[in-house]
Every structure is written in structure tokens, then in C-alpha cells.
Structure 1
Amino acid sequence: MFIVARFFAGMGSWGFLAVTPVYSAELAPPGLRGLFVGMNGVNIALGYGLASYMGMAFYYADNDATKWRGPLGMALVWPFMMLAILPFIPESPRYLLMKNQVEKARDIVLRLHSTEGDDDQVFARSEFYQMQKQTEHDQKMDMGWLDMVRKPGARSRTALAMGFAFIGQSTAVLVINNYGPSLYGKLGFGTEDQLRFQCGWITVGVIFNLVGALIMDKLGRRPLMLFGVAGCCVCLILEAAMVASFAEEGTNKAGLGMGVAAFYLFLAVYSVGVDVAGVVFYGELFPNHQRGKGLSLSVATIALTDLVYLQATATAFANIGWKFYLVFIIITGLGAIVLYFVLPETKGIPLEEMAKIFGDADDVVVFAEDIHVDQHTHDLVVEDHKTHITHVATETGRDLTSGEANEKQGEVA
């Protein structure tokens, strides 16, 4: 029964994890995308926190069945809450454009991205125009799975996303999360202390995911991601040293306390630089026609990497003990070096322009900097970055050349 239930729960939760960063990225304006998509990481950490808090709370229940039925029963509340809000949330405008529902997409963009005090709504109109024109181009592109690796730019994006997903999970974060009580036990702490430490550890993740989300749009993704991977490596070295030196004897309280502190410091660094930054990075890296597939490959990499590590952990700790940490130390150490040379910065770049940082600038139909509003007619005026021909954007249908626009203005006059 547990295995069957876990199949459906896992299918739903991992599917949800693959959808929400894409959805958030496609609704968010470029300048706040780190915060809005980063809130996915914050709430994932909050979910882990709630699970730990309830595990701790029900530990004190008198009835043995209540100790495990209570936390599992509480998990039923959240899916019903999600179902309840579905009728009230908007569809992604980029999805609607891919399905040729232009007016619905335009209404959503103008409603969500309107700027107070701007009667012309320059930002929202410009953003929608860029979305529309880019979607018309993307609809002509190949959308199969093989196309994720055929073109050099697409191949680079896929490799970066899956590579960072692998390195991020090779920090041993889920090994520490799932085997946390056992690891605290190896450091000499009893059951009640193990649960308390686990609750405290998860709380650190909630706080520092929020910190990462709040500072990401200012500092950028790249510095946080590099800091996260390298910092995790340092924390793991410290943890391995404490376990190797003090866990077996269990008499050096300062050394054991440092072992717990290393876990806490690890999660603070991981949350800021790997967890929340990674969620944002996967959600914004790919073009419209590949974004869902790209995010799915990233999440699948996370799941498969976790599966391998978690299956091996019990056997590894039983046979080689602290030396199992060396696997994660080596991967994160080498990973930080490789990422330093290959990781791009995606801060503030419109999703429609992301191709330019992968050498595919010709796939960008309209650059935001080429769009402005005519002060007299209040029309959007766009300069084609390839031909340098100026157009007056109609926002629906064919654009007018500057000559046609002048002729139309003469007719109106």
C-alpha cells in the first residue's frame, strides 16, 4: 500500500515540481523573475519543514498508529488546496500564444504587468509584442526531444541544465535530509535530539531559500550558483573531518557540535546558491517551444541522481563510513571549477532574448531595447535588428512599415 501510494504521490509532486518553475517564469517580468520563481524553492523548503515539524510533533503521540497516520493524513490537505485555487489563476500567456489564443494572452499580460501611472502601459505592451513575435518564430521551430541536442545552442542549454541538476544533487543534500537522524545518531545524539536537529536544519533551508530569492535579481544567478556549489564542498570537507575524528568515540562534545553546525552551514549555503537559484535557472534557460521539455529533463536528472545516492547511502555508510562523503566532495569540487568557466548569467534577460547568450542571436525576433512608444501617436515603434527597418507595431496581425503608418495617419487626419 505504501509503495502504490508513494507512486501516485511521487508522480504528482515531481510533476508539480516540473510545472511550477516554468509557469512562474512565464508569468514574471524579467526584473523580478528571480524572486517570483525563487518562491518555488522557498515553498518547497517550507513543505520539507512542515513534514519535519509534524514528525517531531507526532513523535510525542501516545498511540503508535497516530505517530505515522497523523503526518500522512495531513499531506492530504495540500492537494485539495491546490485544486481549489486552480479556477482563479491565469494561464501562461506564452502557452496561450503557442496555442494561437492571442487576445487571452494579451489580456493576461496587460492585467498582470500594468504599471501604475503609465497610461500607455509601455512595458506591458512592449513585453506582449515581444512575446507574440517570438512565439510566431518559435511555432516554426522543431519541437521534438531530439532537437534538444541537435542544435549547438540547444545542446548547450540542455547540458548546462542537466549538469547543474546533477552537481546540485551531488552535494548530498537529500542524503543529509533523508538520513539526517541517522547521521546525528552517528554523532552521538539520541532520538529526541535527532528530531530536534532535523527540524532546526530544515528551518535553515526555509530562511535561506527566502534570502536567495530576495537577493537574486540584484546579485544575479551565476555568483550565487558558484557560491552554493563551492560552499557545499567546503562544508562537506568540514563534516567529513568531524565525523572521521569524533563520531566513533563520541566523547568530544565540541567536535560533535561542530559536526552538527557543519550540516546547518551546509544547508544555508545550499539553499541560497543551489536550491533556489537552480529552480530559477532551469525555468528561464530554454525557449518557449522547449521550456517544458528542458525543465522536465532537469527534474528527471535530479530525481535519478537522488535515487542512485539514496539507494547506495545505507550500504555505503555501513561499509566505508565517513569516506562516502569523499564522493560528494570530489564531484562538487570539480563541478565548481567547471561551472566557473561555463555558467552564463541570465539575470534580467527577457525569456525571448535568452538565445543570444548561447550564440543564437538570430533566433531572437525582437529585442526589448528596440521597442519604444511614439510620443505623438502612442503607437509602439519597433526597429528590426536585422534589417534596421522601422515598423509600427499593431500588436495583433501584420506590423506597419513607417511609410504605411504615415499614410494611415494621413488618412485619419
Structure 2
Amino acid sequence: MSWRVPVILQATLALIVLGLLPFMPESPRFLMAQGREEEARDFLIKYHGNGNPDSLLVAFELKQMKASINLDGIDKRCGGRWRMIQVIMISVFGQFSGNGLGYFNTVIFSNIGIKSVPQQLGYNVLNQVISATCALTAASFTDRIPRRLILPFGTLLCAVTLGINSGLSAVLDKQTK
């Protein structure tokens, strides 16, 4: 059950999202590209303009969308497919970045001496809380730190963290032999 419960919960949430999909509105950019400008405007007024049809933000966004669609026509050509491919690639390569490692937490915890299921569950919950906290903290800095600064320092921090993880793994491996 230690791996079945998380998988069942993930599948259940995915099914809920799929079930709600028909009730989700189309994006205003999609509506604009399909010639449904009034629907796009209504959407923007409701969600970005706080119900104000004279909102400057709504007018700006509509103008920007029109210009973008007229300029590149990306929603009418293969650009939309390219965006979809990018979304799929993010999902696939996200799994290669270690996200799938969580499925092996029970084995990892057993190897380091944490054998009881309640303890393993507690550590899994703690891991998710720490991950969510770090993700939300990083997301809050997204618009405050220049993107050119994030790449080298983010990469360096990831490399340092990987080095620490590798060193600790080597020490643990020597202790278990």
C-alpha cells in the first residue's frame, strides 16, 4: 500500500481534472485566433478587468494578442503544434530529472533504516511539503531576478547540491557494506 496509495491519489486527481476539462473555458488567445473576439474580450473583462469593460489592462491585452496573432499567425500554423510538443517534452524530460525517483522512496527509506510504513509516509509528506515550499519560494522570485542571472547561479546551485548528494550517497554506501 505504500506505493499504491500515492499512485491511486495521483490517478484520481488526474481523472478529476479530465472530467472537469469540458467545463473549463478556452483561453482568450485561442478565442481571438478563431475569430471569436467578443468571447475573448468577455473572458478578459471577467478575469483580468474585474468586470470593468473599460479596463486599460483588458484593452492592452486584446491589442497585444491581435498584434501577436497577426504578426506570426502561430495559432493557425504549425506553431501551435510546436507549443504542444514543448509541453509534452517538459512532461517527459521532467521525469528524467528525478521526479520519478519518489516512486522508489520506500526502497530508499528501507536502505537507510526507516522500515515502518507510518515513518516512511511521514518522510514522504515532509518531502512534499519541503518541495512545495521551495517551489513556491522560487516562483515568487521569478519576476524579481533577471533571467540571465538565474541560469548560471541556478545551474551552479544544482551542481553543488548534486555533489553533496553524491558525497552523502558514497558515505552511506560505505556504511552499508
Specify if TM > 0.5. Answer: yes
1:129 equivalent in structure 2: 63
Q: 1:247 to 1:190 in 2, by over 3 A?
A: farther
What TM-score, normalized by structure 2, do the two folds share?
Answer: 0.69
Give CA deviations for 1:70-98 in whole Å, capped at 9, x if unaligned: 962784366336534743x4321110111
Q: Which amino acid aligns with 1:72?
A: I
Tell me the matched-pair count: 172
SS at structure 2 position matched to 1:201: helix
2:125 equivalent in structure 1: 199
Contact 1:115–1:123 (8 Å) recurs in 2: no
Q: Mark the runs of 5 or more structure 2 residues left unpaired by the alignment.
A: none
Contact 2:45–2:53 (8 Å) recurs in 1: no
Contact 1:171–1:233 (8 Å) recurs in 2: no
Q: Which amino acid aligns with 1:138?
A: D
1:108 equivalent in structure 2: 43
**How far 1:106 sits from its partner (Å)?**
1.6
**How far 1:201 sits from its partner (Å)?**
1.4
Contact 1:106–1:128 (8 Å) recurs in 2: yes
Q: Which amino acid aligns with 2:34?
A: K
- 98, 101, 104: which one aligns with 2:33: 98
Contact 1:181–1:191 (8 Å) recurs in 2: no
Q: Which amino acid aligns with 1:180?
A: N
1:180 equivalent in structure 2: 105
How well do the aligned residues superpose, as a CA RMSD in angstroms? Answer: 4.1
Distance 2:17 2:47 in 1: 23
Tell me which structure has the larger Cα radius of gyration.
Answer: 1
- 72, 95, 102: which one aligns with 1:138: 72
2:115 equivalent in structure 1: 190
1:212 equivalent in structure 2: 138
Distance 1:174 1:242 in 2: 20
Contact 2:31–2:37 (8 Å) recurs in 1: yes
SS at structure 1 position matched to 2:172: helix
Give CA deviations for 1:34-64 in whole Å, capped at 9, x if unaligned: xxxxxxxxxxxxxxxxxxxxx6xxx5xxxxx
2:8 equivalent in structure 1: 72
Distance 2:31 2:76 in 1: 18
Distance 1:119 1:76 in 2: 39
Contact 2:28–2:41 (8 Å) recurs in 1: yes
- 247, 251, 263: which one aligns with 2:173: 247
> For structure 1, which segment, 91-100 or 131-140, has the greater mean C-alpha deviation from structure 2 after superposition?
131-140
Distance 2:74 2:112 in 1: 58
Distance 2:43 2:169 in 1: 54
**How far 1:233 sits from its partner (Å)?**
2.0
**How far 1:131 sits from its partner (Å)?**
0.8
Q: 1:182 to 1:231 in 2, by over 3 A?
A: farther
SS at structure 1 position matched to 2:108: helix
Give CA deviations for 1:356-393 in whole Å, capped at 9, x if unaligned: xxxxxxxxxxxxxxxxxxxxxxxxxxxxxxxxxxxxxx
Distance 2:100 2:6 in 1: 23
Distance 2:5 2:106 in 1: 20
Q: 1:243 to 1:119 in 2, by over 3 A?
A: closer
SS at structure 1 position matched to 2:39: helix
Q: Which amino acid aligns with 1:185?
A: S
Runs of 4+ in 1 over 6 A off after TM superposition: none
Q: 1:97 to 1:73 in 2, by over 3 A?
A: closer
Distance 1:137 1:172 in 2: 39
Q: 1:142 to 1:112 in 2, by over 3 A?
A: closer
**How far 1:172 sits from its partner (Å)?**
3.2
SS at structure 2 position matched to 1:97: helix
- 1:1-400 correspondence to structure 2 within 5 Å: 68=4, 72=8, 75-76=11-12, 79-80=15-16, 83-84=19-20, 86-87=22-23, 89-114=24-49, 120-139=54-73, 143-144=77-78, 166=93, 171-175=97-101, 177-192=102-117, 193-250=119-176
Q: Mark the runs of 5 or more structure 1 residues left unpaired by the alignment.
A: 1-54, 60-66, 149-157, 252-413
